[in-house]
């Protein structure tokens, strides 16, 4: 077990190192440098550009730049955000809690909902309900995240104005008492979280339905049936338990899609998270902030899948010991 | 199974030619009603894209009257409304079908080329090379594809649609090559491969003539899903303004043009999105049917 954890940790470290190389290559192999984009104002003279390049070390040889880059990454330095006029680290650090809140709510919501849908489907496999739910999941996994977010915004913020149009909190948030503040934040969380949950739970339901149908022919299910257990007991106690293991893997695998979805959803609902910051930085050509977001996003995904693998090892008695 | 019915024992029945695994799979999935409908719908969308100049009622880039004809809601003259530049949204959606599908297919061809080559080499070589190649793959897989593309596209100040296709293709082969590697690894020691090797076939011949034809099905499934992915990704990138550049129309691009005023210009988000969902859904249905047909074999 300990050996497995050590191995898996080392593997994650290698992945993060390769990610660093890839992002470095992206920055330097691409035509131009951060200053061609930000400084395409004709009034900025070549001298100023050269000075800036020298200040940021872009005129040094590549190997030297790489060592510096890795060193500053290791210290959590991600560069300077031109559009926020603050270090990228600070911009992302203030945005990260909002992103994590949204992701955790969506993750918990979608797995709970997805598993329930799968159970309903498998309990009535082959019925009209099963087919209808399969159709709905198929529809949702075929939807682009940003399109569903736009439609949700349109439907529940404009046409039927039940929820706020966007933002993380109300303008009067600072003047509210504690209870009202919590309510206010939750109120703003509903639509973005709902959109993400709808998208992710469809994928979970499809996956979990297949996993449940996979274990149903197993011998222990037949034994349970012979013992006289009801179909419901079999599903809940025997099938679900064994079909939950792949769910842990699925959690790890779903991080990239969830993070991507969060980016779009945050942008559309003006939820002040990492995705909102990064997508706006693209418009502002704030290159350092964009790359900072790419790096942090990748590290989050790596950590997520690492965590899922460790959880799997903990949950599966066969790997324990 | 038809390809096992070859009878060498001098029977008088005509020897049936071996049907390609793909042809068999296609025939098998067409037995399902849902896949027949999906085939039909996809065919219609493809035809719309192909015949865009004949079908589209207006020039997709024309801005006939930027004052009087802008932001019009759906009507008989403009079934999908007009955009802030007075362009006809229906015509743009039709031309968008052409561009979005082309990008999807071409990018997937790029991905297929890289994914199959990389996976086949890793799986066939095995050992240290395989281990290193897989770790590199892990790293690429742990950067979400959208983020990778954002990094690449933001770094390139100006890029053509061709470059976009290459970028989309180059970021889409990681999962596929893992599948190919797994299949090659599983088949590497199969008897027919050993037999081919014993007959003196070269490595290249074994890979191309013996291994790859046997893993066509999973590759086709992955490619079908790949096209769907690319269509959604391109739309997402165009939506945030770093995909297809104006005045070309792609589905995501049209949504981008109306997204700032989504409350008033709802038709600009709704219609292109519906086409996109329909396309992606049919591709998903076909991919699922294909993989089912493969599993049942």
- Cα–Cα distance between B178 and A159 in angstroms, integer? 46
pLDDT of amino acid A307: 87
Q: Which residue from B139, B157, B236 is facing A144, i.e. has the nearest CB?
A: B236
Whether A151 sits inside 8 A of B270 (CB atoms) is: yes
DSSP state of B245: P
Say if residue B211 is preceded by a cis peptide, omega within 30 of 0: no
Contact A9, A306 (CB under 8 A): yes
- Nearest to residue A72, comparing CAs of A291, A306, A278, A302? A291
Whether B138 sits inside 8 A of A15 (CB atoms) is: yes
Point out the least confidently predicted range of A55-64, A197-206, A244-253, B269-278. Answer: A55-64
Claim: this prediction has a pTM higher than 0.90: no
Q: How confident is the model at residue A130 (pLDDT cuts 50, 70, 90)?
A: very high
Local mean pLDDT, 10-residue blocks, chain B (297 residues): 41 53 74 88 92 86 78 83 85 92 95 93 89 85 86 79 91 91 87 87 84 85 93 93 86 87 85 94 91 73
Q: In this structure, what is the dihedral angle of CA atoms B218, B220, B225, B226, given to the nearest 10 degrees? A: 110
Mean pLDDT of A281-285: 83
- Cα–Cα distance between A76 and A93 in angstroms, integer? 11
Whether B139 sits inside 8 A of A14 (CB atoms) is: yes
Contact B168, B230 (CB under 8 A): yes
> Is residue B155 within 8 angstroms of chain A, CB to CB?
yes
Q: How far is CA B141 from CA A1, A253, A289, B146, B160, in A?
A: 25, 10, 22, 11, 26
Q: Which residue from A139, A256, A291 is facing B281, i.e. has the nearest CB?
A: A139
pLDDT of amino acid B206: 85
> Is residue B154 within 8 angstroms of chain A, CB to CB?
yes
For residues B23 and A232, the model is more confident at A232
Angle at which helix A287-315 crosses helix B145-155, to 10 degrees, equals: 160
- Nearest to residue B235, comparing CAs of B187, B191, B269? B269
Q: How far is CA B288 from CA A252, B25, B106, B219, in A?
A: 23, 12, 22, 13
Q: How far is CA A93 from CA A233, A277, B53, in A?
A: 47, 11, 50
In the predicted structure, residue A2 carries a pLDDT above the cut 60: yes
Q: Which residue from A142, A256, A294 is facing B151, i.e. has the nearest CB?
A: A294
Task: Reduce the DSSP state of residue A86 to 3 states and report it.
Answer: strand
Whether B143 sits inside 8 A of A146 (CB atoms) is: no
Give the residue on A whose Cα is nearest the Cα of B145.
A256
pLDDT digits (tens, 9 = 90+) for A185-205: 888 888 999 999 999 999 999
Residue with tokens 């040094």: A60
Q: How far is B156 from chain A (nearest CA, A)?
A: 6
Contacts of B280 in chain A (CB under 8 A): 142-144
Whether A26 sits inside 8 A of B151 (CB atoms) is: yes
Q: Which residue from B145, B252, B266 is facing A154, i.e. has the nearest CB?
A: B266
- Cα–Cα distance between B246 and A260 in angstroms, integer? 24
Contact A247, A111 (CB under 8 A): yes
For residues A126 and A44, the model is more confident at A126
Q: How far is A15 from chain B (nearest CA, A)?
A: 5
pLDDT of amino acid B43: 92
State which H helix or E strand residue A87 sits in: strand A86-87
């Amino acid at each position: 077990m300990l050996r497995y954890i050590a191995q898996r940790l080392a593997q994650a470290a290698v992945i993060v190192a390769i990610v660093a190389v890839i992002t470095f290559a992206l920055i330097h192999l691409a035509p131009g440098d951060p200053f061609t984009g930000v400084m395409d104002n004709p009034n900025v003279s070549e001298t100023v550009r050269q000075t800036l390049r020298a200040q940021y070390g872009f005129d040094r040889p590549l190997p030297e730049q790489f060592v510096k880059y890795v060193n500053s990454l290791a210290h959590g330095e991600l560069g300077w955000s031109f559009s926020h006029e603050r270090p990228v680290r600070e911009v992302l650090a203030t945005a990260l809690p909002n992103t994590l809140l949204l992701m955790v709510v969506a993750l918990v919501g979608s797995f709970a909902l997805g598993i329930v849908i799968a159970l309903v489907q498998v309990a009535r496999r082959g019925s009209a309900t099963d087919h209808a739910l399969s159709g709905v999941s198929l529809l949702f996994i075929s939807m682009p995240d940003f399109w569903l977010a736009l439609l949700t915004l349109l439907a529940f913020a404009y046409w039927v104005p039940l929820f706020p149009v966007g933002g993380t909190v109300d303008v009067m948030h600072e003047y509210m008492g504690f209870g009202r503040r919590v309510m206010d934040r939750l109120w703003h969380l509903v639509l973005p979280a709902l959109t993400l949950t709808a998208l992710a739970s469809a994928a979970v339901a499809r996956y979990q339905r297949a996993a449940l149908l996979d274990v149903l022919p197993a011998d222990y299910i037949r034994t349970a049936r012979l013992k006289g257990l009801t179909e419901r007991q079999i599903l809940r106690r025997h099938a679900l338990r064994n079909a939950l293991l792949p769910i842990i893997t699925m959690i790890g695998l779903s991080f990239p899609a969830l993070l991507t979805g969060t980016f779009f959803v945050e942008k559309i609902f003006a939820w002040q998270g990492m995705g909102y910051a990064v997508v706006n930085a693209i418009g502002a050509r704030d290159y350092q902030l964009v790359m900072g977001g790419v790096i942090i996003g990748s590290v989050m995904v790596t950590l997520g899948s690492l965590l899922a693998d460790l959880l799997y090892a903990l949950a599966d008695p066969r790997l324990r010991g | 199974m038809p390809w096992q019915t070859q009878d060498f024992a001098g029977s008088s029945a005509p020897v049936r030619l071996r049907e390609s695994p793909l042809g068999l799979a296609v025939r098998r999935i067409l037995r399902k009603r849902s896949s027949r409908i999906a085939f039909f719908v996809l065919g219609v969308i493809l035809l719309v894209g192909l015949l865009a100049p004949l079908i589209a009622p207006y020039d997709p880039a024309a801005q006939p009257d930027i004052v009087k004809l802008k932001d019009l809601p759906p009507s008989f003259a403009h079934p999908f409304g007009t955009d802030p530049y007075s362009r006809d949204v229906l015509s743009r959606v039709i031309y968008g079908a052409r561009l979005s599908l082309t990008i999807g297919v071409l990018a997937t061809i790029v991905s297929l080329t890289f994914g199959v080559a990389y996976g086949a080499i890793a799986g066939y070589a095995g050992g240290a090379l395989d281990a290193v190649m897989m770790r590199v793959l892990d790293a690429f897989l742990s950067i979400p594809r959208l983020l990778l593309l954002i990094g690449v596209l933001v770094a390139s100040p100006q890029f053509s649609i061709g470059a976009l296709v290459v970028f989309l293709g180059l970021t889409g082969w990681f999962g596929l090559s893992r599948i190919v590697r797994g299949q090659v690894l599983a088949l590497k020691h199969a008897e027919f491969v050993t037999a081919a090797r014993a007959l003196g076939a070269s490595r290249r011949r074994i890979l191309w003539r013996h291994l790859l034809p046997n893993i066509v099905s999973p590759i086709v499934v992955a490619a079908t899903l790949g096209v769907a992915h690319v269509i959604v990704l391109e739309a997402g990138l165009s939506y945030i303004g770093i995909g297809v550049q104006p005045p070309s129309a792609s589905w995501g691009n049209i949504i981008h043009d109306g997204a700032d005023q989504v409350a008033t210009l709802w038709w600009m988000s709704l219609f292109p999105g519906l086409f996109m969902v329909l396309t992606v859904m049919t591709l998903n249905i076909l991919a699922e049917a294909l993989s089912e047909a493969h599993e049942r074999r």
